[in-house]
Amino acid sequence: MAVTPRLDDVLKPGKPLPPDELMIAKGLEILNYSPHGQQLVNSVAAEKIAIAIMATPQPVTYLPDTRKAYVGFNRNNPVSPSRFVLMLAYVLREAQQELMNVKKPPLHAAQEEHIQTALRKEEDKLWYICTVADELNSLDMFTEYKFLDELRKMGHHEAIDLYLKQK
């Protein structure tokens, strides 16, 4: 029986990137260890959400369609495995929001409605990735991933601190 490589073994700086399908499979495998991440993985299967990786100058997620999620990063300087997993969780939560009819208002809606909806959606996604990061961070098998530290590196200091206080 062949041992499947860990995400951090296949996504190392200075090494060639593995096939996109392997990175996505490993990211989903890791998310499955978190109860909230497992919900995201179940949505991928149930809703047939296609996930793709794209080359971008900076790390970014993009959901052009409810069932098409992209994770983008610079292929010459790839993101860390923990950041990749968190980015994957973030974009999949956005897809879940769309599937639950938490959608952006129509273009002709008032600016205030656009702002309120965007803030509500962003707060939900941040809470969700904080939860996933905390759940994964608590598992001994993911100690070296340092998910909470990665969230801080991503600029989410206040969100993770508030999340941990309210826990």
Which tens digit of pLDDT belongs to each residue from 41-52?
999 999 999 999
Mean pLDDT check: name the lowest of 21-30, 69-78, 102-111, 153-162: 102-111
Looking at the domain assignment, is residue 48 inside a domain? Answer: yes
Q: How many distinct structural domains can be found in the chain?
A: 1
Looking at the domain assignment, is residue 1 inside a domain? Answer: no
Burial classification of residue 143, based on how many CB atoms lie within 10 Å of its CB (0-12 exposed, 13-18 middle, 19 or more buried): exposed
Looking at the domain assignment, is residue 23 inside a domain? Answer: yes
Query: Domain containing 40: what range?
Result: 7-166
- Cα 66 to the chain's mean position, in Å? 15
Looking at the domain assignment, is residue 155 inside a domain? Answer: yes
- What's the mean pLDDT in 137-152? 93
The mean predicted confidence, pLDDT, of the chain is: 90
Q: How would residue 97 be classed by pLDDT, with cut points 50, 70 and 90? A: very high
Q: pTM of the entire structure?
A: 0.90
Looking at the domain assignment, is residue 132 inside a domain? Answer: yes
The amino acid sitting at 146 is: K
Looking at the domain assignment, is residue 96 inside a domain? Answer: yes
**What confidence score (pLDDT) does residue 114 get?**
86
- What's the mean pLDDT in 108-121? 90
Looking at the domain assignment, is residue 37 inside a domain? Answer: yes
Looking at the domain assignment, is residue 19 inside a domain? Answer: yes
Q: Per-residue DSSP letters for 60-113?
A: EEEEEETTEEEEEE-TTSPPPHHHHHHHHHHHHHHHHHHHTT--PPPTTS-HHH
**What confidence score (pLDDT) does residue 91 get?**
98
In this predicted model, what pLDDT tens digit does every residue of 51-96 receive, in sequence order? 999 999 999 999 999 999 999 999 888 888 999 999 999 999 999 9
Higher pLDDT among residues 139 and 11, named by residue: 139
The label of the residue with tokens 């997620």 reads: 61
